[in-house]
Structure 1
Amino acid sequence: MPVCYRHPDRETHIRCQRCSRPICPDCMTGASVGFQCPECVREGHKSVRQPKRFTGARVGFRALPVTFSLIGVNVLVWLSIILTGGSGSRIADFLAIRLQGYCLTPDGGFAVPSEVCRASGGTWMPGVDDGAFWQLLTSTFTHVSIIHLAVNMLSLYMLGSFLEPIVGRLRLLVFYLISGLAGSALVVWASVPASSTVGASGAIFGLLGVLVVLFVRAGQSLSPLLPVLLINAGITFFGNGISWQGHLGGFIGGLVVAGIFTSLRADRKAPLQWAALGAFTLALLALIGVRILLF
Structure 2
Amino acid sequence: MDDNPNAPVCYRHPQKETYVRCARCDRPICPDCMNQASVGFQCPECVREGQKSVRRPRTALGAVGGSGMVTKTLVGINVAVFLLGLVWAASLGGVGNVLGGDTTPLHYLGSLWAPPYSDIVVEGLGIKVSGVAGGAYYRLLTSMFLHYGVIHLLFNMYVLWVIGQYLERELGPLRYLGLYLLSGLGGNVLTYLLADTGASITNANSWAWTAGASGCIFGLFGAMVLINRKLGRDMSGVYVILGLNLVITFLPGTNISWTGHIGGLLTGLALGAALAYAPRANRAMIQTVAFVGVLVVFVGLIAWRTSTLNTLLSSIT
Residues in 2 aligned to 1:24 and 1:290: alpha-carbon distance in whole angstroms: 35
Q: Which one of the candidate residues 189, 209, 233 is aligned to 2:246?
A: 233
Whether 1:279 and 2:309 are equivalent positions in the alignment is no
Task: Tell me which of the two structures has the higher relative contact order, counting C-alpha pairs closer than 8 angstroms and 6 or more residues apart.
Answer: 1
Aligned CA distance change for structure 1 residues 88 and 226 (closer, same or farther; 3 Å): closer
Alignment: residue pair count: 217
Percent identity of the aligned residues? 35
Please, which of 92, 102, 107 is the counterpart of residue 122 of structure 2?
92
Q: Which of the numbers 126, 136, 140 marks the counterpart of 1:136?
A: 140
Q: Superposition pairs for residues 143-158 of structure 1, below 5 Å? A: 143-158=147-162
Distance (Å, rounded) in 1 between the aligned partners of 2:80 and 2:306: 31
Distance 1:189 1:268, change over 3 A: closer
Distance 2:57 2:274 in 1: 16
Report the TM-score when normalising by structure 1. 0.69
1:102-121 matched pairs, under 5 angstroms: none
2:73 to 48, 58, 69: 69
Asked whether the equivalents of residues 142 and 199 of structure 1 are also in contact (C-alpha less than 8 Å), the reply is yes
| 1:222 maps to 2:222 | no
CA distance in 2, matches of 1:192, 1:175: 28
Opposite residue 70 of structure 1, the aligned amino acid is L
1:186 aligns with 2:190: yes
Offset of residue 24 of structure 1: 5.8
Assess, with a 3 A threshold, how the Cα gap between structure 1 residues 63 and 221 changes in structure 2: closer, same or farther.
closer
Residue 277 of structure 2 is aligned to residue 263 of structure 1: yes
Q: Distance in 1 between matches of 2:279 and 2:57?
A: 9
State the structure with more CA Rg: 2
Distance in 2 between residues matched to 1:265 and 1:95, nearest whole Å: 40
Q: Output one character per residue of 1:11-48: Cα deviation in whole Å (capped at 9) or x when no partner.
A: 9741xxxxxxxx567xxxxxxxxxxxxxxxxxxxxxxx
Paired residues of 2:71 and 2:164 also in contact (CA < 8 A): yes
Q: Structure 1 counterpart of 2:119, which letter? A: G
Provide structure 2 residue ranges, at least 5 long, that are not aligned to the other structure.
Answer: 1-52, 90-116, 198-206, 310-317
* 3-state SS of 2:142 partner: helix
Question: CA RMSD for the aligned pairs?
Answer: 2.3
Contact kept, 8 Å, 2:191 with 2:260, in 1: the verdict is yes
1:88 and 1:243 mapped to 2: Cα distance? 15
Does the 8 A contact of 2:274 with 2:286 survive in 1? no
Query: C-alpha distance in 2, partners of 1:11/1:180?
Result: 31
SS, match of residue 225 in structure 1: helix
Asked whether the equivalents of residues 61 and 276 of structure 2 are also in contact (C-alpha less than 8 Å), the reply is no
Runs of 5+ unmatched residues, structure 1: 1-7, 15-22, 26-56, 101-126
Q: Which runs of 4+ in 1 moved over 6 A?
A: none
160, 166, 170: which is aligned to 2:170?
166
